[in-house]
Amino acid sequence: MINGENLIPVAIPWAMVGGGRQSQIGYIHRSAALRDGVFKLVAGAFDIDAQRGHDFGVAIGVNAERCYADYKTMFAAEALRQDGIRAVSIATPNGTHFAISKAALEAGQHVVCEKPLCFTTAEAEELRALATTKNKVVGVTYGYAGHQLIEQAREMIAADELGEIRIVQMQFAHGFHNEAVEAANPATKWRVDPKMAGPSYVLGDIGTHPLYLSEVMLPQLKIQRLMCSRQSFVKSRAPLEDNAFTIMEYDNGAVGYVWSCAVNAGSMHGQKIRVIGSKASIEWWDERPNQMTFEVQGKPLQVLERGMGYLHPRALADDRIGGGHPEGLFEAWSNLYVRYAQAMAASDRGDKAALAELHYPGIEAGIEGVRWVENCVRSADAGATWVDYR
Ligand code: NAD
């Protein structure tokens, strides 16, 4: 249980790049990183507009001289300080992630980066090599993975409660972009511009979220080949897709399916994962994150509730308030930020055993997300044909 006691000896001095006043995702990064006292926000280059970023930094309590005009200036200036930053979170549009992550690692910073980590597997592998050389942790914010019941699913599958895994059914299918809302919304506009979004829209923006949940629940499954069909129902978004269907075959004979969609009119989030084994199935939906269904063939449906004593200790370790009181995305992200901080602290003291015990969306998850999108796009653009996963 997380109850406010220190989780690492000293809070890590931390900065943000992006996540400024008008950003969608900046606040949850700060809320998650600061909630349990594992990070201390001391600097930032919060905005593409230097003055706005400065004003915003001051307004959230950062010392004015440490609100920088851009990330390069920040890394250089912080390196000269005794009390300089040791970690940075990057919450900027996709097209900037690679350059900023690279600069941060070169400056000796631990990194938490938004997804997608970058545009190509080659770039992602370059970041991994750099992180290894510099002995730094890279976290990637697949935030839904911090929900307790995802941990419970992982433990139930490992304990063979589902039997042999046959089918993994996934979707992230919301309806918010059923029309060309990007015309009036800057945060959507860059998402459908290949220069800033990369080779895909919904595959990278949302499909990779349930994909990562499947990696947490089923760490042993490896994709062998996949087939993807993608469409731009709002024509002006072409060549980027606002809908995609991906079928995957895994190396153990199981199959998987991901529906990535931003035009599912009427749907709020629609992120679900259902894992079907030979004996039973589990299903989790991010709009009801405190419950997970467990269906054993021939028995009545069970609904597992977050925070209850019957859950696995690894799931309960993340609990903050006990069953019945709903927890949500903010707590899920906080759980991940705690693990990022613990990994950074363990890395700094060279504690390999502690590092091996921690699991969180890190550089491998970042690489896998980029690799999956690359393979989906290759298949879709070849006419929705099967492609070997590489
Ligand atoms: P946004 O457009 O709402 O905000 C982007 C912010 O970054 C703004 O404050 C902007 O001024 C700032 N910025 C842009 N370029 C910058 C630069 N070079 N230096 C400093 N600041 C810069 O975008 P958003 O919706 O918050 O998305 C940001 C990132 O977060 C994207 O990569 C997106 O995919 C990701 N995201 C992740 C999740 C998740 O669940 N993990 C959810 C939403 C967004």
Where exactly are the structural domains of the chain? 12-144+337-361, 147-321+368-388
pLDDT for residue 187 is more than 90: no
> Which residue from 364, 362, 363, 344 is spatially nearest to 354, judged by alpha carbons?
344
If you average pLDDT over every residue of the chain, what do you get?
97
pLDDT in tens, 101-150: 999 999 999 999 999 999 999 999 999 999 999 999 999 999 999 999 99
The answer to whether residues 66 and 88 touch, using CB atoms and an 8 Å cutoff, is no
Q: Which of 17, 21, 22, 25 to mutate to test the pocket of ligand 1 (most atoms within 8 A of CB)?
A: 25
Q: Which CATH class is domain 12-144+337-361?
A: alpha beta
pLDDT in tens, 214-259: 999 999 999 999 999 999 999 999 999 999 999 999 999 999 999 9
Residue 253 main-chain phi, psi, to 5 deg = 95, -10
Q: Which of 27, 28, 30, 48 to mutate to test the pocket of ligand 1 (most atoms within 8 A of CB)?
A: 48
Distance 117 CA to ligand 1 centre (A): 12
The residue count of the chain comes to 390
Distance 56 CA to ligand 1 centre (A): 15
Interface predicted TM-score of the whole assembly (ipTM), two decimals? 0.99
Gap between the Cα atoms of 54 and 295, Å rounded:
52
Gap between the Cα atoms of 203 and 376, Å rounded:
8
pLDDT in tens, 277-311: 999 999 999 999 999 999 999 999 999 999 999 99
Mean pLDDT value of segment 313-342: 97
pLDDT for residue 186 is more than 90: no
Q: Range with the lowest mean pLDDT among 186-190, 226-230, 368-372?
A: 186-190
Task: Pick the atom of ligand 1 nearest to 22's CA.
Answer: 9
Q: Which CATH class is domain 147-321+368-388?
A: alpha beta
- Identical fold for domains 12-144+337-361 and 147-321+368-388, yes or no, is no
> What are 84's two structure tokens?
């300089």
pLDDT in tens, 36-73: 999 999 999 999 999 999 999 999 999 999 999 999 99
Gap between the Cα atoms of 287 and 254, Å rounded:
27
Which amino acid residue places its CA nearest to atom 4 of ligand 1? 23
The answer to whether residues 146 and 314 touch, using CB atoms and an 8 Å cutoff, is no
Distance 24 CA to ligand 1 centre (A): 7
Gap between the Cα atoms of 4 and 26, Å rounded:
23
pLDDT for residue 32 is more than 90: yes
